[in-house]
Amino acid sequence: MQNATTRRIVLGGLAVALLAATPSVTVAAAAAEIPHTWSAGDTLRHTVRAGDTLNRLAIRYREPAGWYSQADCLAAIRRANDLEHTHLLRPGQDLLIPTWREPDPPRPVEPTLDGSRLRGLYLPGPACGYRSVFARIDSFTAAGGNGVVFDAKDIDGGVSFASRQPLAAWGKGRTAPVIGDLRQLVGRLRARELWVVARVALFLDGELGRNRSDLVLAGPGGEPWQERGCYWLDPAAGEVRAYHIGLAVELAQAGVNEVQIDYVRYPTNGWRGDGDGEPAAIAARRRAVITSFVAALHDTLQSLGCLLSADLFGIMAWDRTEDLALTGQHVPSLAAHLDVICPMIYPSHFGPGFEGLAQPADHPEIMIAAGMRRFREQAGPAVLIRPWLQAFPWRVSRYDSGYVSQQIRAAELAGAAGWCLWNPAGRYDVALAALRQPIWLAAGDDPALP
């Protein structure tokens, strides 16, 4: 923050030259980033033997040649040997294997050592499978960012890394995880002094639900309960719990600073399979199930020196019985077993008329401030409150850079322990325009910065 005579500038709005992350990247796109020439000192050599294929060579030489992903290594071999339009190799053929030496990356101006004052953004798992992701992250860091949230498992059920868990799958139609080397990804991010958060979507799971209907919540006729083409797993099932705790342990052992759980709740689209009754009774049952799981996971991660955070619906801060009866997310109960609460106080997620506003989505400063205040009151002082901010246009009359700036300013004024930007596809073109602009506070404002 820079002092001035009559006003102050908060540098929470970061100037980020970050390209939009895409859900998938082709080998051709990866190849486009690889240099056309290498000196002799920048290559290894390989003499083709019977049974060699380009894919096998890319797997073999990825690590010794310094490439981040198999696709990067494969594209480099193709380009260096003029093999971009053929798969054929001849025994005895000499191949050049280009090496990659990463330049010294930037470090955060204000790194976070405990997860507070985090300024980050979300990247989908597939975007993290290619070397190009580091250029994006480095641009963000050079502008003032200090953390990244990446998908370790999304609601499709695809696990992004090569998990040892028996129930793990890579996603429909995938034969391999999108992140080829989890430890290398985390290591490169940690070497940059970034705070590394692995997001795990829990109980909405397309892949496991499709393969194990016995682990899925049942509808009135016994049918597996679905939402958006995925299935709701039973949060009380021992196998479901053990599976996700196992994933979290692997992530902690790989060196992430924090595991963040999402969809840590019951479905809100009409499921009533746990019995009828008064809303208070249903709320108590669901709260007990969700809280007990979070407590067990927190104890496990705490022993490994890894923080646990949870994405909670913004509406939960209003502590209404009808909402608790749907989700099972009781803020005071969960706060006792979390290091960080990440409320999804997206203004668009509050319906017309909420808090007396005809369209809450068009009043981000009011909704962010109200949500933050209530979460702080509900959770108490022992847990960090780090909100997700809306970087997508749904329900917003005028979604532009000013809209994002208003959210950042409101969060920081409310004493947020940092913030993260969310766009489900990892596309931040509009948000980046906001981050390039400073946030001006009036002279009398008390920003209560994290």
- Convert the pLDDT of each residue in 344-354 to its tens digit: 999 999 999 99
Phi, psi of 16 (to 5 degrees): -115, 115
pLDDT of residue 429: 80
Distances in Å between the Cα of 252 and the Cα atoms of 190, 247, 415 are: 13, 9, 28
Q: How confident is the model at residue 23 (pLDDT cuts 50, 70, 90)?
A: very low
User: Nearest CA to 62 among 87, 97, 27?
Assistant: 97
pLDDT of residue 6: 30
Query: What is the C-alpha to C-alpha distance for residues 204 and 206, in angstroms, rounded to an integer?
Result: 7
Q: How confident is the model at residue 101 (pLDDT cuts 50, 70, 90)?
A: confident
pLDDT of residue 41: 53
pLDDT per position as a tens digit, 299-316: 999 999 999 999 999 999
Which of the residue ranges 24-28, 180-184, 328-332 would you say has the lowest mean pLDDT?
A: 24-28
Mean of pLDDT values over 73-84 = 95
Which of the residue ranges 130-144, 233-247, 265-279, 391-405 would you say has the lowest mean pLDDT?
A: 130-144
Cβ proximity of 158 and 172 under 8 Å: yes
pLDDT per position as a tens digit, 114-130: 999 999 999 999 999 99
pLDDT of residue 40: 43
Which of the residue ranges 33-37, 53-57, 123-127, 155-159 would you say has the lowest mean pLDDT?
A: 33-37
How much of the chain exceeds pLDDT 90, in percent? 78
Higher pLDDT, 275 or 36: 275
pLDDT over 90 (residue 57): yes
pLDDT of residue 432: 76
Cβ proximity of 54 and 74 under 8 Å: yes
Q: Which CATH superfamily, name and number, covers 118-442?
A: Glycosidases (3.20.20.80)
Q: How confident is the model at residue 37 (pLDDT cuts 50, 70, 90)?
A: very low
pLDDT of residue 211: 95
State the Cα angle at 98 between 95 and 103, rounded to 5°. 175
pLDDT per position as a tens digit, 61-77: 999 999 999 999 999 99
pLDDT over 80 (residue 10): no
pLDDT over 90 (residue 134): yes
Which of the residue ranges 42-51, 210-219, 246-255, 384-393 would you say has the lowest mean pLDDT?
A: 42-51
Which of 148-157, 272-281, 437-446 is predicted most confidently? 148-157
pLDDT of residue 434: 80
Which of the residue ranges 17-21, 219-223, 272-276, 355-359 would you say has the lowest mean pLDDT?
A: 17-21
pLDDT of residue 340: 98
pLDDT of residue 36: 31
Distances in Å between the Cα of 375 and the Cα atoms of 305, 315, 329, 343, 420 are: 25, 10, 12, 8, 16
pLDDT of residue 167: 98
* Burial of 110: CB neighbours in 10 Å, binned 0-12, 13-18, 19+: exposed
Query: What is the C-alpha to C-alpha distance for residues 224 and 213, in angstroms, rounded to an integer?
Result: 6
Q: State the chain's mean pLDDT as an integer.
A: 88
User: Nearest CA to 366 among 374, 298, 119?
Assistant: 374
pLDDT over 80 (residue 1): no
Query: What is the C-alpha to C-alpha distance for residues 399 and 348, in angstroms, rounded to an integer?
Result: 11
Q: Which three-class secondary structure string do you get for the chain? A: CECCCCEEEECCCCCCCCCCCCCCCCHHHHHCCCCCCCCHHHEEEEECCCCCCHHHHHHHHCCCCCCCCHHHHHHHHHHHCCCCCCCCCCCCCEEEEECCCCCCCCCCCCCCCCCCCEEEEEECHHHHHCCHHHHHHHHHHHCCCCEEEEEEECCCCEECCCCCCCCCECCCCCCCCCCCCHHHHHHHHHHCCCEEEEEEECCECHHHHHHCHHHECECCCCCECEECCEEEECCCCHHHHHHHHHHHHHHHHCCCCEEEEECCCCCCCCCCCCCCCCHHHHHHHHHHHHHHHHHHHHHHHHCCCCEEEEEEEHHHHHCCHHHHHHHCCCHHHHHCCCCEEEEECCHHHCCCCHHHCCCHHHCHHHHHHHHHHHHHHHHCCCCEECCEEECCCCCCCCCCHHHHHHHHHHHHHCCCCEEEEECCCCCCHHHHHHHCCCEEEECCCCCCCC
pLDDT of residue 181: 95
User: Nearest CA to 211 among 263, 157, 159?
Assistant: 157
pLDDT over 90 (residue 431): no
pLDDT over 50 (residue 172): yes
Query: What is the C-alpha to C-alpha distance for residues 279 and 283, in angstroms, rounded to an integer?
Result: 6
pLDDT over 80 (residue 103): yes
- C-alpha 186: how far from its chain's center? 13
pLDDT over 70 (residue 442): no
Cβ proximity of 136 and 21 under 8 Å: yes
pLDDT of residue 439: 59
Assigned CATH for 27-98: 3.10.350.10
pLDDT of residue 18: 31
The domain limits of the chain are 27-98, 118-442
pLDDT over 80 (residue 19): no
Mean of pLDDT values over 410-416 = 96
